[in-house]
């Protein structure tokens, strides 16, 4: 789901930043991210906007004294106007944890390879700072997933994801036997490497690599994509956003693993059941550009479009 709203004050640049704070998250293991963070901090402070960073990252960043240091807790971004993330897809997904908890919009600057969640590239840093200072951005909401694991009927784990929740085999040499379900009804049983349950945002991530369809962000839907399945019918499914997807690990199969956004994992014993539904809390993304998702798709994947002549006028 994509719900776009303009940010108040975007029509008229504002020079003052009194009372405004931006939370900055960077991949400090990348020299480019450290340098980019320094430039962003300098630009924001010059405009009177406060900057907050994680204390664990502060030691790796050249930061002046006015920068606020906070502990790495889910609520670390609360009270901030914006969360600016400098890094690749992994750093952006880490930022999504803070953005979802606090409700603060996340603005990603891609320093990695693809960066579908990012809104800007490294060369756009000056523009990013200017847009933040003048509040010249829009905010859209992206659907998330709520995930729970049952074992012997009892809920033993809960989690969430922005891109996907994947049930995967834990041992390379053994297939994982599962039964998939949609809205309380069984769909198919098969052995394979697992199943990806994804949002439209995640359709260009793991689900895409597993052979799933690309779904435009404004489409409200859930995806279920088998991974290397040995079955006659194990095709990607696109369901209603109100559907409940389930993957049951069969009793006489090796244990599996649940991964949420490739960042958090929990072991799934044989017989475990994973249920995935639309998340109650979305992630808010700040957007600088009005480019269509089609243009973004072509640019990010470097798709060949030479020869296109456009629709007749």
Six token digits for residue 239 = 């369901």
Q: Is position 144 annotated in a ligand binding site?
A: no
Stated length of the chain: 313
Pairing of strands 256-260, 194-198: unpaired
Phi and psi dihedrals of 177, rounded to 5? -95, 125
Q: Is position 199 annotated in a ligand binding site?
A: no
User: What does the angle CA 251 – CA 209 – CA 242 come to, to the nearest 5 degrees?
Assistant: 65
d(CA 247, CA 104): 32
Q: Is position 163 annotated in a ligand binding site?
A: yes
3-state helix, strand, coil in the chain (%, to 5): 20, 35, 45
Around 91, how many Cα atoms within 13 Å sit in the side-chain half-sphere? 25
Which stretches does DSSP call E strand in 152-216?
154-161, 164-169, 176-182, 185-192, 194-198
Q: Are 26 and 91 in contact (CB under 8 A)?
A: yes
Q: Is position 171 annotated in a ligand binding site?
A: no
Q: Is position 137 annotated in a ligand binding site?
A: no
d(CA 235, CA 250): 19
Q: Is position 207 annotated in a ligand binding site?
A: yes
d(CA 182, CA 46): 53
β-pair partners for 258: 167, 266
Q: Is position 174 annotated in a ligand binding site?
A: yes
Q: Are 51 and 24 in contact (CB under 8 A)?
A: yes
Q: Is position 270 annotated in a ligand binding site?
A: no
Instruction: Name the helix (H) or strand (E) containing 86.
Output: strand 82-87
Pairing of strands 50-54, 21-26: parallel
Q: Is position 205 annotated in a ligand binding site?
A: yes
Q: Is position 151 annotated in a ligand binding site?
A: no
Six token digits for residue 24 = 């900055």
Which positions are catalytic? 89
Q: Is position 79 annotated in a ligand binding site?
A: no
Q: Which residue numbers belong to the known binding site?
A: 89-90, 94, 163-164, 174, 193, 204-209
Which residues are known binding-site members for NAD(+)?
89-90, 94, 163-164, 174, 193, 204-209
């Amino acid at each position: 789901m994509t719900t776009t709203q303009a940010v108040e004050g975007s029509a008229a640049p504002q020079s003052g930043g009194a009372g405004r704070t931006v939370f900055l998250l960077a991949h400090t293991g990348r020299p480019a991210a450290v340098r980019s963070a320094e430039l962003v901090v300098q630009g924001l402070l010059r405009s009177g906007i406060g900057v907050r960073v994680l204390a664990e990252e502060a030691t790796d960043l050249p930061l002046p004294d006015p920068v606020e240091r906070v502990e790495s807790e889910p609520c670390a971004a609360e009270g901030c106007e914006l969360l600016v993330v400098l890094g690749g897809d992994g750093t952006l997904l880490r930022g999504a944890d803070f953005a979802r908890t606090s409700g603060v919009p996340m603005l990603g600057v891609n320093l990695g390879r693809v960066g579908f969640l990012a809104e800007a590239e490294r060369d756009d840093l000056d523009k990013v700072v200017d847009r933040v200072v003048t509040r010249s951005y829009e905010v859209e909401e992206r659907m998330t997933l709520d995930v729970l694991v049952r074992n012997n009927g009892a809920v033993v784990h809960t989690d969430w994801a922005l891109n996907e929740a994947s049930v995967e085999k834990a041992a390379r040499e053994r297939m994982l036997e599962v039964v998939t379900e949609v809205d309380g009804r069984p769909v198919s049983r098969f052995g394979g490497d697992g199943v990806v349950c994804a949002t439209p945002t995640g359709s260009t991530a793991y689900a895409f690599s597993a052979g799933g369809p690309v779904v435009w962000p404004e489409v409200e839907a859930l995806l279920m994509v088998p991974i290397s399945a040995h079955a006659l019918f194990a095709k990607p499914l696109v369901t209603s956003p109100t559907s409940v997807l389930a993957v049951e690990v069969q009793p006489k199969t090796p244990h599996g693993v649940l991964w949420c956004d490739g960042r958090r994992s929990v072991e799934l014993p044989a017989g475990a059941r994973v249920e995935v539904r639309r998340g109650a809390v979305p992630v808010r993304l700040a957007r600088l550009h009005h480019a269509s998702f089609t243009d973004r798709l072509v640019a990010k994947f470097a798709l060949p479009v030479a020869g296109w002549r456009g629709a007749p006028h």
